[in-house]
Amino acid sequence: MDAVTPSLEVAGLAFAYPDGHQALFGVDFTIGRGERVALLGPNGAGKTTLVLHLNGILSGGTGTVTVAGLPVGKRHMAEIRRRVGIVFQDPDDQLFMPTVREDVAFGPAAAGMKGAELEERVRTALERVGMEAFADRPPHHLSFGQRRRVAVATVLAMEPEILVLDEPSSNLDPASRRELGDILRSLDVTVLMVTHDLPYALELCPRSLVLSEGVIAADGKTGELLSDDELMRTHRLELPFGFDPRSVTMGA
């Protein structure tokens, strides 16, 4: 894929559930290769519905989703699911094998990889999240923060085009939150981070999208959006008490 093709293009995406609840009303945005973007919005804004469209778990609405130039649809589904790595909020939804190594090997092995190539892929993925020393441990013996890092590794092992993280900082203690942040900054993949943790979005994502009532209400520099009191109030986005986004110096 050339550098010009965006990692993700969403155009006119609208979707209603079978019960008639309309979750998305025409969502448009593009994420370039290697960008780190936060998806912000109140509960019920449609964030999860949007994420589930990115790898075809949900479909049947109108509009298009294109990943690395490939339209999301039945024809390219296996390839799309390899390219869009979703890390769910609860790592236990992703970890189900007896050891960390087997969990990380699961996706590539299912895709036909084996032997030394598979071992190398697993080692690299665990190294990228600082968990290579835990390869032979059962996942349920790890701390929550460690399990979340292994869940990220299971996705990285597929060498995705885009890493989608659902509430990555939830239930993490401050040290685990910082460690995960350092890992996410070090990765050379496109990142879309769905989060209520606005300081974390500011720390990790130069750009943010605000999804509200099924449409993109704002798209811009994270610091500018979080400093816009009117925007924040309108879309029920709450900064932690005493947190001033204007006082934060952004990391690269």
pLDDT in tens, the chain (252 residues): 455 889 999 999 999 999 989 999 999 999 999 999 999 998 888 999 999 999 888 888 899 999 999 999 888 888 998 999 999 999 999 999 999 999 999 999 998 999 999 999 999 999 999 999 999 999 999 999 999 999 999 999 999 999 999 999 999 999 999 999 999 999 999 999 999 999 999 999 999 999 998 999 999 999 999 999 999 999 989 888 888 888 776 554
CB atoms inside a 10 Å sphere around CB 204: 25
Phi-psi region of 21 (alpha: psi -120 to 50; beta: other; left: phi over 0): beta
Domain residue ranges in the chain: 8-89+161-247
Whether residue 248 contacts residue 227, with contact meaning beta carbons closer than 8 Å, is answered with no
8-89+161-247 to CATH, choices 1.10.760.10, 3.40.50.300, 3.40.50.10860, 3.40.640.10:
3.40.50.300
Residue 247 tokens read as 């006082």
Give me the amino acid identity at 169: S
At 187, phi and psi to the nearest 5? -80, 145
Report the pLDDT value the prediction gives residue 3, as an integer from 0 to 100. 58
Tokens 């835990």 sit on residue: 134
Which string of DSSP letters, residue by residue, matches 188-204?
-SEEEEE-S-HHHHHHH
Report the pLDDT value the prediction gives residue 252, as an integer from 0 to 100. 43
Q: Which of 167, 195, 95, 179 is nearest to 129 (CA)?
A: 179
- The pTM assigned to this predicted structure is 0.92
Report the pLDDT value the prediction gives residue 250, as an integer from 0 to 100. 58
Who contacts 182 (Cβ-Cβ below 8 Å, separation ≥6)?
A: none
Residue 188 tokens read as 């050379």
